[in-house]
Structure 1
Amino acid sequence: MTRVADRFEYWNVGSEAYERLLATKGALGASGLSEQLVELVFLRVSQINGCRFCIAMHSAAAQQAGASAEHIDGLAEWRGSRVFDAPERAALAWAETVTLVEDVQGAAAQKDRLLSHLTPQQLVDLTIAVGLMNALNRVAIFLGR
Structure 2
Amino acid sequence: MTATAPTIADPREPYKRLRTTRSNFELYGWVFMRASGVILLVLIFGHLFVNLMVGDGVNAIDFAFVGGKWASPFWQIWDLLMLWLGMMHGTNGVRTIVNDYAERPLVRLWLKVALYTAFVAVTVLGTLVIFTFDPCPVDAPAELLASFCSA
Scaled by the length of structure 2, the TM-score of the pair is 0.28
Scaled by the length of structure 1, the TM-score of the pair is 0.28
Structure index of larger Rg: 2
